[in-house]
């Protein structure tokens, strides 16, 4: 996004989150890298499942950057734990029958972070009569996933919230779309591989043009499209970015 000329306001629950899976040494290093692409970039720590934090971040970003042209709601995941200490791999049990609090922890991490940030950023976009929102669900939103029930239900809620919000913001000229990635080769995803069955692993390590893990760039290019003027007449869509995997999901 920086290379495409965007200024970036980044947010995560803590500045330590980038280190949990060894994805980066520090937020400062990422900001320096982004500055090299001439992007103005800042980091705002916030627990986005708390609406007051989401509102405060959006207000701070609007003050620092003038306005928010595009919002990408990417916080989420189905890891154990809730914060920068959450390096425990996949939750051992994420069925429909886990304790309510455990179910809601994963649900809220995916659904509330999305809705609270959208609610906060939509106000300025509505006022200006333009804006682009991209939510991030998962292919899990589209089928029954054993042992990932809370996550899949939350992502289905994100997908449908996107359609509803697109309808609500249509008259205001705000585009709202959702991407549903398949398995994507991020550090967090790699950390969950130890919990996969041999059949899953065989498919995940495929080397085909389509039969493989998505690279983060495969997903980023679609986010860029939804934020760009090329998608000005597209709203309310849920687009799977999964190499066609959905017909035989991993
Ligand atoms: N990697 C995949 O295979 C895959 C597939 C489909 C969808 N996704 C989705 O893509 C997104 C990014 O996934 P990733 O693989 O890069 O995982 P990731 O864990 O690296 O990224 C998720 C980030 O959300 C942050 N976060 C969690 N709770 C938060 C909160 N309350 N407030 C603020 N930040 C919070 C985490 O600290 C983490 O940095 C997630 O929404 C995930 O569900 C990933």
Q: What is the CATH number of the domain that holds 115?
A: 3.40.50.720
Backbone angles phi, psi at 142, to 5 degrees: -105, 0
d(C-alpha 191, C-alpha 5), whole Å = 32
Distance 71 CA to ligand 1 centre (A): 15
Q: What is the pLDDT of residue 87?
A: 40
Distance 171 CA to ligand 1 centre (A): 31
Which residues neighbour 218 within 8 Å (Cβ) at sequence distance 6 or greater? 181, 184, 241, 243
Strand 131-136 to strand 70-73: parallel, antiparallel, or no bridges (unpaired)? parallel
Q: What is the pLDDT of residue 117?
A: 98
Distance 76 CA to ligand 1 centre (A): 4
For 135-179, how does the pLDDT look when each residue is reduced to its tens digit (9 = 90+)? 999 999 998 888 789 999 999 999 999 999 999 999 999 999 999
DSSP assignment of 18-68 = GGTTTS-S-HHHHHHHHHHTT--EEEEE--TTSHHHHHHHHHHHHHHHS--
Q: What is the pLDDT of residue 181?
A: 96
189 lines ligand 1 (CB under 6 A): yes
* Residue bearing the CA closest to ligand 1, atom 24: 75
Distance 44 CA to ligand 1 centre (A): 16
d(C-alpha 137, C-alpha 181), whole Å = 7
Q: What is the pLDDT of residue 88?
A: 43
73, β-bridge pairs: 135
213 lines ligand 1 (CB under 6 A): no
188 lines ligand 1 (CB under 6 A): yes
Specify if 52 maps to a domain: no
Distance 148 CA to ligand 1 centre (A): 15
Report the predicted TM-score, pTM, of the whole model to 2 decimal places: 0.94
Specify if 145 maps to a domain: yes
Specify if 44 maps to a domain: no
* R_g over Cα of the chain: 18
114 lines ligand 1 (CB under 6 A): no
* Residue bearing the CA closest to ligand 1, atom 39: 17
Spatial CA neighbour of 220 closest among 78, 118, 116, 74: 74
184 lines ligand 1 (CB under 6 A): yes
Q: Alpha helix locations (H) across 170-241?
A: 187-191, 198-204, 216-227
Expressed as residue numbers, the domain containing 122 is: 70-247
Write the burial class of residue 34 (CB in 10 Å: 0-12 exposed, 13-18 middle, 19+ buried).
buried
Q: Which long-range contacts (CB under 8 A, 24 or more apart) does 55-58 make?
A: 55/116, 55/120, 57/9, 57/11, 57/117, 57/120, 58/117, 58/120, 58/121, 58/124
Specify if 43 maps to a domain: no
d(C-alpha 250, C-alpha 247), whole Å = 10
Which uninterrupted H or E stretch holds 169? helix 149-169
DSSP state of 213: P
DSSP state of 74: -
For 70-119, how does the pLDDT look when each residue is reduced to its tens digit (9 = 90+)? 999 999 987 654 444 444 455 666 789 988 988 898 899 999 999 999 99
Q: Please tell me the total count of domains within the chain.
A: 1
> What b/e string do you get for 131-164 counting C-beta neighbours within 10 Å, with b at 16 or more?
bbbbbbbbbbbbeebebbbbbbbbbbbbbebbbe
Asked if residues 161 and 219 have their Cβ atoms less than 8 Å apart, the reply is no
Specify if 206 maps to a domain: yes
135 lines ligand 1 (CB under 6 A): no
Specify if 62 maps to a domain: no
Specify if 86 maps to a domain: yes
The catalytic site residues sit at: 151
Mean pLDDT, all residues of the chain:
89
Specify if 119 maps to a domain: yes
Place of tokens 């065989």: 202
Q: What percent of the chain has pLDDT over 70?
A: 92
For 181-236, how does the pLDDT look when each residue is reduced to its tens digit (9 = 90+)? 999 999 888 877 776 777 777 777 777 888 888 999 999 999 999 999 999 999 99
Q: Which atom of ligand 1 is nearest to the CA of 86?
A: 37
């Amino acid at each position: 996004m920086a290379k495409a000329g965007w200024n970036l306001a980044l947010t995560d629950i803590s500045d330590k989150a980038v280190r949990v899976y060894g994805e980066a040494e520090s937020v400062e290093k990422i900001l320096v890298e982004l500055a090299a692409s001439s992007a103005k970039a800042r980091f705002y720590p916030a627990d986005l499942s708390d609406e007051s934090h989401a509102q405060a971040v959006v207000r701070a970003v609007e003050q620092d950057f003038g306005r928010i042209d595009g919002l990408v709601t990417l916080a989420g995941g189905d890891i154990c734990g809730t914060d920068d200490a959450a390096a425990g791999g996949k939750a051992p049990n994420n069925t429909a029958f886990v304790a309510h609090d455990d179910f809601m922890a994963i649900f809220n991490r995916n659904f509330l972070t999305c809705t609270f940030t959208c609610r906060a950023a939509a106000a300025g976009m509505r006022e200006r009569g333009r804006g682009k929102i991209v939510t991030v669900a998962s292919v899990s939103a589209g089928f029954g996933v054993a042992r990932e029930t809370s996550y899949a239900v939350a992502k289905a809620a994100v997908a449908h919230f996107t359609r509803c919000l697109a309808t609500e913001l249509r008259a205001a000229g705000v585009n709202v779309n959702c991407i549903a990635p398949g398995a994507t080769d991020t550090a967090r995803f790699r950390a969950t591989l130890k919990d996969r069955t041999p059949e899953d692993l065989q498919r995940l390590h495929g080397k085909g043009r389509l039969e493989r893990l998505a690279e983060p760039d495969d997903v980023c290019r679609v986010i860029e499209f939804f934020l760009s003027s090329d998608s000005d007449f597209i709203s309310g869509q849920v687009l799977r970015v999964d190499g066609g995997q959905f017909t035989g999901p991993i």
